[in-house]
């Protein structure tokens, strides 16, 4: 008893009990005047702040389905809270498919098998290695957790590399043992004579396509665990995830005001393998003006969507032909066929799927839809276009196929975009207007259009871990980058990278992958990181709409707390500089100030 009493005195227990009793509002002798149940409850709550901080006791990984029916990873976090095991939260990772629209059935089948292997390995990592490695860590220590996850992933990469080298060495040894040696041919004495009348198909050599970023089997476990830990820390701290992320980015300094990212809402998904001719456009997105609240902007976009649906479904002339009859384009549009009959199908992006024969036809329909409901593009609403130019390159010709049978060189593409923005100034963002390999043309288009339009790299950007490690690698000069939380991306990676982008006046866009889940954490990440835009797809499909609902809820909460700051739209003026065509340029090179 004496030892126990000495221990309690050393820990300051008598003083804390006296503080708790006095905090009730009465001196110690008068405490019985308070109802016993209130007194006990108050004491328990008061003393709970001196209890041990919650620590991770268990991670559970399981295989679930995402919004397009593909397998993905769910990570659950359990913590020891006041000596009891308690489930805190879970997160579901989104999948990112790089399968082209016109992929062969065997290619799709191989991808699905690989996807299953990736998820199964990720589940194994979470339930075994990561579960043991992160046990007894505090979920609020995001930096330490992400450091351990990064080291684990690096070790797995090295293991895979070592196995591949051993396999290649064994294969080379077997091949050399079976193949008889043959004398090497004599080197040619002169130049090979070119065939008469034969002209090269490629007028100007273009940089070859760079290989896709390799994805390590099981890497979903790293991103899923990092995000789940961040959500657990926010839950334990009794604050929303977006505020927790903002505190992490600002070294625990609470922001006085926060800005919501502007939504890029996909209205139309123009399939590039449809019967129509236009291939240049993959997505048409609406961006509401900054003067509107998010709620007002979403309502306005819904009105435009309804009118577009009505125009596309109306019998008789196509909307493009209707507009053309009142414009100069009567002659060139009068003989065109009607639009494809698959307009009612909702794509995986949560928007209408359609097709057009040329870009001007599409933009005129958009103008008509807005005019019909009393809105004007460029004032009441803006457009962004995802060109996905990497899907357009014909490598035999060395040119982009922008329409069926119509090809343009990279330099011609730059000139075409200049004419497009001059003619339709309500387009304020182009996503992936060129391949990432055409670095000189990216530099040219940024110098020409950067002060009028955002030139954004999505597929043209490299993965987050490579951007963070080496800022020069595989990424052209641009106005900003679309970041996606996939695979081995960690919360700390996003915080570090967005800090670099902010410091050099480049915009950050948080984008959802193709295979979205119903997890709405991406919205909190975008708000907490201070992203300029958020790209979530259309206003259909539950996994898309739930994120817009979360964004609306955050707006309401910030407005109630009077901490909501109005967003701004500021374009970037790039300094012109000469650059060798084959040398990589720095995505994060600071642009010239406006």
Q: Which residues are catalytic?
A: 487
352 vs 209, 251, 349, CA distance in Å? 31, 43, 9
CA atoms within 13 A on the CB side of 459: 26
Residue in this structure with the two tokens 């007028």, named with its chain if needed: 203
Q: Going along 462-563, which residue ranges are E strands?
A: 480-483, 507-511, 533-537
Residue 564's DSSP bridge partners are 258
* Dihedral-angle region of residue 265 (phi above 0 means left; psi in -120 to 50 means alpha; beta otherwise): beta
- Residue 130: DSSP 8-state: I
Q: Distance between CA atoms of 286 and 302, rounded to whole angstroms? A: 10
Tokens of 127: 């339930």
Note whether 78 and 59 are within 8 A (CB): yes
> How many other CB atoms sit within 10 Å of the CB of residue 278?
22
93 vs 61, 68, 71, 222, 436, CA distance in Å? 11, 13, 10, 10, 27
- Residue 32: DSSP 8-state: G
Question: Chain centroid to CA 356: how far?
Answer: 27
The end-to-end CA distance of the chain, in Å, is: 74
Tokens of 37: 């149940």
The Cα angle at residue 521 between residues 517 and 524, in degrees rounded to 5: 145
Helices 142-178 and 491-503: crossing angle in degrees, nearest 10, is 100
Q: Which residues contact 68 (CB under 8 A, 6 or more apart)?
A: 95, 348, 514, 515, 516
Note whether 439 and 431 are within 8 A (CB): no
Note whether 391 and 311 are within 8 A (CB): no
Note whether 227 and 521 are within 8 A (CB): yes
């Amino acid at each position: 008893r004496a030892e126990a009493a000495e221990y309690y005195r050393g820990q300051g227990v008598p003083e804390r009990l006296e503080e708790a009793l006095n905090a009730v509002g009465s001196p110690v002798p008068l405490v019985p005047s308070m109802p016993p149940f209130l007194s006990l409850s108050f004491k328990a709550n008061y003393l709970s702040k001196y209890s041990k901080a919650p620590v991770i006791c268990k991670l559970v990984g399981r295989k679930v389905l995402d919004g397009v029916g593909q397998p993905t990873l769910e990570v659950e976090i359990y913590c020891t809270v006041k000596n009891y095991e308690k489930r805190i939260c879970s997160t579901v990772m989104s999948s990112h498919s790089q399968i082209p629209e016109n992929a062969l059935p065997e290619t799709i089948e191989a991808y699905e098998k690989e996807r299953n292997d990736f998820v199964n390995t990720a589940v194994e990592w979470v339930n075994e290695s990561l579960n043991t490695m992160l046990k007894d860590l505090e979920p609020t220590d995001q930096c330490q957790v992400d450091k351990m996850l990064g080291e684990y992933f690096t070790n797995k990469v090295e293991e895979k590399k070592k196995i591949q080298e051993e396999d290649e060495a064994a294969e080379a040894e077997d091949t050399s043992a079976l193949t008889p040696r043959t004398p090497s041919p004599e080197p040619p004495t002169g130049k090979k004579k070119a065939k008469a009348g034969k002209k090269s198909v490629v007028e100007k050599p273009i940089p070859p396509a760079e290989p896709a970023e390799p994805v390590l089997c099981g890497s979903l476990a790293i991103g899923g665990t990092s995000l789940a830990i961040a959500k657990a820390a926010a839950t334990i701290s009794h604050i929303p995830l977006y505020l927790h992320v903002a505190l992490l980015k600002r070294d625990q300094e609470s922001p006085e005001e926060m800005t919501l990212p502007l939504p890029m809402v996909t209205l139309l998904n123009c399939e590039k393998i449809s019967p129509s001719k236009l291939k240049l456009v993959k997505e048409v997105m609406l961006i509401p003006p900054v003067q509107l609240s998010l709620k007002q902007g979403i309502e306005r976009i819904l009105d435009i969507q309804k009118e577009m649906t009505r125009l596309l479904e109306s019998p008789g002339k196509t909307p493009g032909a209707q507009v053309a009859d009142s414009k100069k384009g009567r002659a060139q549009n009068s003989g065109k066929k009607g639009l494809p009959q698959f307009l009612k199908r909702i794509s995986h992006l949560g928007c209408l799927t359609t097709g057009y024969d040329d870009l001007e036809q599409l933009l005129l329909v958009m103008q008509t839809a807005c005019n019909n409901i009393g809105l004007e593009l460029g004032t009441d609403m803006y457009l962004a276009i995802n060109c996905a130019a990497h899907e357009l390159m014909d490598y035999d010709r060395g040119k982009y196929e922008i329409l069926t049978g119509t090809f343009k060189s990279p330099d011609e593409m730059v000139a075409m975009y200049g004419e497009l923005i001059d003619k339709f100034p309500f387009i304020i963002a182009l996503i992936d207007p060129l391949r990432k390999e055409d670095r000189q043309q990216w530099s040219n288009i940024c110098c020409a259009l950067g002060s009028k339009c955002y030139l954004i790299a999505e597929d043209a950007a490299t993965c987050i871990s490579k951007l963070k490690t080496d800022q020069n690698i595989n990424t052209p000069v641009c106005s900003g980058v679309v970041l996606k939380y996939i695979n081995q991306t960690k919360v700390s990676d996003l915080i570090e990278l967005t800090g670099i982008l902010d410091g050099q006046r480049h915009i950050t866009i948080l984008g959802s992958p193709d295979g979205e889940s119903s997890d709405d954490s991406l919205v909190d990440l975008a708000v907490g990181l201070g992203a300029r835009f958020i790209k979530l797809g259309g206003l259909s499909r539950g996994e898309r709409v739930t994120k817009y609902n979360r964004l609306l809820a955050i707006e309401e909460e910030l407005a109630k707390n009077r901490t909501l700051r109005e967003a701004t739209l500021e374009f970037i003026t790039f300094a012109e500089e000469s650059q060798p065509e084959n040398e990589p340029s720095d995505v994060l090179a600071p642009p010239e100030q406006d």
